Structure 1
Amino acid sequence: MKAQNDQRTGLLYGFASYGMWGIVPLFWPLLQPAGAIEILAHRMVWSLAVVGLALLVLRRWGWMAELLRQPRKLALTAVAAALVTVNWGVYIWAVNNGAVVEASLGYFINPLVTIALGVLVLGERLRRTQWAAVGIAVTAVLVLAVGYGRPPWISLILAVSFALYGLIKKQLGMGGLESLTAETVIMFLPALGYLLWLGSRGESTFTAQGPGHAALLASAGLVTAIPLICFGAAAIRVPLSTLGLLQYMAPVFQFGLGVLYFHEAMPPARWAGFSLVWVALSILTWDALRTARRSRALRLDALSAHLPSSVPSPVPSPLPTPERETA
């Protein structure tokens, strides 16, 4: 029962995190004229401020000493911090340079990489319908790559970096708030050093563009911390294959924003590729719902079979009764 409750909670965290990531392309253009690296540095600095305040309120500090006593866990945390830094930076650059649709492609590829890691590294097994969906999605990615006329580097970097990040979070087994705090502590000094260097050269936009711009840069901490905390909580509660399904939410929203709000070009090849992706998503969704119904039915059958053995046997009656006899 506890495992079922944990997985249900993890699904809620997953829906929340990917929903927020889906609409975040609306936020990053508001931070211009700051460049991608300056925005990235502010994300790091202000994210630590947000999670630090949360830990102060919750009084959850004991895990830090334990982490410092485990070199392997600390090293994995540093790798996770590096991966998410790459992911953040590339994504900000893509959104602010008119590549929202290509960035969304990266997060369509990402579940495929996540599922592959679940199979190859963690030994998770896929059903036939899941394999079929993966095959269709791989075909879709190839069609989209041909449509772009070049390797989709933005997409590939986003996909691989975040899939590896999710795998490491799974192995760390830390809470979402704790793991994000550790990662932002590692990233804090380089980020702060860059911002100070930028300010010394008179190139920082934090003070030059007025208090409104400064407030927007500072709010990057909230925009970053909240969905990542939700993702961290989901990653330790649900299988990677399930995360692979949930991850389609964010690119669907991002794709819609890229086409309808940012008015990015969509030639026929891209429409064909994205259509295949949506077919794959439909298959995965149908399979997940079918499997959930079967699992629920099996649990009910097992419960029904167990109940008679736990009820005291009635006194034998000389007359037949309409109820089914039990051994």
Structure 2
Amino acid sequence: MYVMWGLFPLFWTLLSDVNSFDTLANRIVWSCVFSIGAIIALKKWSAFYGVLGQLLRTPKKVLVLFAASLCISFNWFMYIWAVANEHIIDTSLGYYINPLLSILFGVLIYKEKLLRGQQMALCIAAFGVLLMIINVGEVPYIALSLALSFALYGVLKKQIQLEALHSVAIETLFVLPIAVTYLLVLQQRGLSAFGHMSVTTDFLLIISGVLTVIPLVCFAVATKHLPLYVIGFLQYITPTMTLLLGIFLYEETFSNAQFMSFAFIWVALLLFSVTTYRHQKKRRTVSE
């Protein structure tokens, strides 16, 4: 699934002529359609209906999931917009920063304890971002927006554990009225991409829903069969592939200042991964 996510820029650039809000609205609609379709096909409707009913009886959980829906929708929009506007390298930086930002939220919100190596990794990563701000002369708002929105999404989702398909279906259902209303207004004004540009565009907009659901299902399966530290290490495949695509295929500028900042973040991620792996290995040895 990380390879699929890493190849996403290849897909979203095909829709670069479509307004990013239009693309996002279609992605929400078709993700909802295909996630619910998959639930029905897999004969999980009864379980989904039960989960939905249970959530609706708990206003606090509804608010948390609605907030999560807004976070992931914003994250989707920023990614779509960034790819369409030739900021693929910035998206890569965002998803390199994201795991470390998630860890920071874990410490601040859930009072999780960090090992010394993990603390050093956070400091090194923060220095890398600061270095980019100083050398490039501007805050990497695209990268930070992607990292922050996805990290907040993770914080909210941690409060309510849901199966991947159920999660996509419910989260898209929350923002579905907004997406549908927006698309109807565009259709009325003749500004909608769907049905007004080409059959290929229509097909790509529909497929965006499938491409959203499939990797999430794969991720759910992987988390059941692989140790978490392996999942954590593999997640860096996505931003690495995105970075390589941005540099070599789309020929975006990758300055020495950017390389220096990325280098600090790579070192931070390596230090964090090694520290976490050794800690997990030590715990397994003790438990045996």
Name the TM-score, length of structure 1 as normaliser: 0.80
Partner of 2:280: 292
CA distance in 1, matches of 2:7, 2:249: 11
1:41 equivalent in alignment to 2:42: no
Whether 1:20 aligns to 2:8 is: no
Q: Are the structure 2 counterparts of residues 187 and 238 from structure 1 closer, same or farther at C-alpha, using a change threshold of 3 Å?
A: farther
Partner residue, 1:204: 192
Displacement of 1:239: 11
Match of 1:56 among 40, 43, 52: 40
Question: Do 1:176 and 1:230's aligned partners in 2 also have CA atoms closer than 8 Å?
Answer: no
More helix by share: 2
Give the AA of the match of 2:280.
A
Aligned to 2:171: 183
Contact 1:130 1:283 (8 Å CA) reproduced: yes
CA–CA distance in structure 2, aligned partners of residues 240 and 189 of structure 1:
36
* Equivalent residue pairs, number: 284
Most deviating of 56-65 and 218-227: 56-65
Distance 1:190 1:53, change over 3 A: same
CA distance in 1 between counterparts of 2:113 and 2:231 reads 14
Give the CA deviation at 1:192. 1.2
Name 1:125's counterpart in structure 2.
113
Is the partner of 2:192 in helix, strand or coil?
coil
How big is the shift at 1:136? 1.2
Flag the 1:94–1:227 CA change in 2: closer, same or farther, 3 A.
same
Share of identical aligned residues, percent?
38
Match of 1:100 among 88, 100, 114: 88
In the alignment, does 2:56 pair up with 1:68?
A: yes
Q: When the two structures are superposed, what TM-score results if normalisation uses the length of structure 2?
A: 0.90
> Counterparts of 1:238 and 1:172 in 2: how far apart (Å)?
22
Q: Name the amino acid aligned to 1:210.
A: S
In structure 2, relative to structure 1, the CA distance for the partners of 1:20 and 1:189 (3 Å cut) is same
> Separation in 2 of the partners of 1:134 and 1:128?
10
1:195 aligned partner:
183
Partner deviation per Cα, 1:85-122 (whole Å, 9 max, x = no partner): 11111111011101111121122221221001111111
CA distance in 1, matches of 2:114, 2:224: 19
CA distance in 1, matches of 2:224, 2:44: 22
Determine the C-alpha separation between the residues in 2 that align with 1:236 and 1:94: 32
Return 5+ residue gaps in structure 1 as ranges.
1-15, 301-327
Match of 1:80 among 68, 76, 94: 68
- Deviation track 1:147-202 (CA, whole Å, cap 9, x = no partner) reads 33211111121111110101111111122211211111111111111112111111
SS in 1 for 2:7: helix
**Change in 2 beyond 3 A, CA 1:113/1:235:** farther
Distance of aligned partners of 1:187 and 1:242 in 2 relative to their CA distance in 1, 3 Å threshold: farther
Q: Quickly say closer, same or farther: Cα 1:141–1:235, change in 2 above 3 A.
A: farther
Aligned pairs (5 A) from 1:2-13:
none
Q: 1:144 to 1:232 in 2, by over 3 A?
A: farther
Please tell me whether residue 280 in structure 1 is matched to residue 264 in structure 2.
no
1:294-313 equivalences in 2 (<5 Å): 294-300=282-288
Residue 253 of structure 2 is aligned to residue 269 of structure 1: no
Deviates more, 1:72-81 or 1:132-141: 132-141
Contact 1:114 1:244 in 2 (8 A): no
Supply the AA of the counterpart residue of 2:194: F
- Shift of the 154–169 alpha-carbon distance from structure 1 to 2, 3 Å rule, reads same
The answer (yes or no) to whether the contact 1:112–1:244 under 8 Å persists in 2 is no
Change (3 A) 1:81 1:233: farther
What is the letter of the counterpart of residue 6 of structure 2? G
| Counterpart Cα distance in 2 of 1:152 and 1:174 | 32
Per-residue CA deviations over 1:47-82 (Å, capped at 9, x if unaligned) read 001111011122332211111111111111100011
RMSD: 2.4
Output one character per residue of 1:224-271: Cα deviation in whole Å (capped at 9) or x when no partner.
122344557889999999977654332222111111111111111111
Q: Which secondary structure state, in structure 1, belongs to the residue aligned with residue 110 of structure 2? A: coil
Residues 170 and 235 of structure 1: CA distance in aligned 2, closer, same or farther (over 3 Å) = farther
